[in-house]
Amino acid sequence: MVLAVLATAGVASAANGGFTPLDAHSPNAHRISETYYLILGFTAAIFLLVEALLIAFVVKYRSRTRDRTVEGGQVHGHTRIELIWTAIPVLIITVIFGFVFYKLPGISDPPAAHAADRLQIKVDAHQFYWQFTYPNGAVSIDELHLPVGRVAVLSLNAEDVIHSWWIPELGGKTDAIPGRTNSTWYQPQVTGTFVGQCAELCGLFHEAMLARVVVTSNGEYETFIGTTAKRQLGKAEWQGVCAKCHGMEGQGDYGPALASNPLLTQPAGLEAIVREGRGRMPDVGNNWTQTQMRALEAYVKANVYKGAASGG
């Protein structure tokens, strides 16, 4: 028992690597953490009380020299104790429910903000990547950029199966469901990079569906959506969408090798397979714009295609 306590104490002391949530960096994430700690406090206290009483009763009412076939003293009810152990759980549940419903609006509803300060970002979930479309039409893959201090409302959609968006340090899980739009919001309080992953088993490559939120100053954010995102779009599409199956250099992995496939230099053929899929490959770019297609075509032609394989 002592060893078990020491082992769990070590895990608990790790905090973010143990039983407690990651440090919160958005108001809604703070409220989720506060709710978690309230429930953890009650459950820990109940666990300690029950286990302590169990051990005390085992010691106090052990058989000692009494023959194993002889029953111990019998207790036939105690009205006061029964009322107490009924009333206390009711009070605990009432406190938890009250606290949760008090915190819930601040978790689900974004704070009021002037239209100029509030960002509306579209998040499309695909097998097996995240696509972010910013108010000015800029697009990024797997890496969402946000300005510190500003409210960002994310509208989540799924293009194929159910996915689940979750960046633990910024907020709770929100499902992305085909045919339905769900939303969540962040108001990052510090700059930095916050990582997450699709929290719904969405297929064979589910573990590769990672996500990052990069929080910068407002000036850096404007630069990203104004120029950087467009300049990096083709590379982001290849690395975030294609390379997960075909390898970073098109050398082949789960998907076939592409580096010597002339399809990479044929815009119509490349667009058809990206939009419609083939075999086990899903239609990864079924909602891509022509700008996205042209960016991918230019990148693979310049950086991935190595020339057709020689015969003979």
Could you tell me which of 144, 146, 182 has the C-alpha nearest to residue 163?
182
Higher pLDDT, 194 or 78: 194
| Rounded Cα–Cα distance for residues 145 and 56 (Å) | 56
- The DSSP annotation for 232-243 comes to HHHHHHIIIIIH
Residues comprising the chain, all counted: 312
CATH value at residue 295:
1.10.760
124 within a domain of the structure (yes/no): no
Which pLDDT value is given to residue 155? 97
Render pLDDT for 227-285 as a digit per residue (tens, 0 to 9): 999 999 999 999 999 999 999 998 988 889 999 999 899 999 999 999 999 888 889 99
282 within a domain of the structure (yes/no): yes
Structure tokens at 74: 């019998």
Q: Is the pLDDT of residue 312 over 50?
A: no
* Residue type for position 38: L
Output b/e per residue, 2-14; b: 16+ Cβ within 10 A: eeeeeeeeeeeee
Element (H, E) at 62: none
- Other Cβ atoms closer than 10 A to 247: 18
Average pLDDT in the 65-82 region?
Answer: 79
- Other Cβ atoms closer than 10 A to 79: 7
Question: What's the first-to-final CA gap in the chain, in angstroms?
Answer: 71
252 within a domain of the structure (yes/no): yes
Q: At 204, is the pLDDT very low, low, confident or very high (cuts 50, 70, 90)?
A: confident
259 within a domain of the structure (yes/no): yes
Q: In total, how many domains does the chain have?
A: 1
266 within a domain of the structure (yes/no): yes
**What is the DSSP code (8-state) at residue 232?**
H
Lowest mean pLDDT among 191-200, 211-220, 223-232, 254-263: 254-263
Report the share of the chain in percent with pLDDT over 70: 94
Boundaries of domain holding 298 = 243-303
131 within a domain of the structure (yes/no): no
299 within a domain of the structure (yes/no): yes
84 within a domain of the structure (yes/no): no
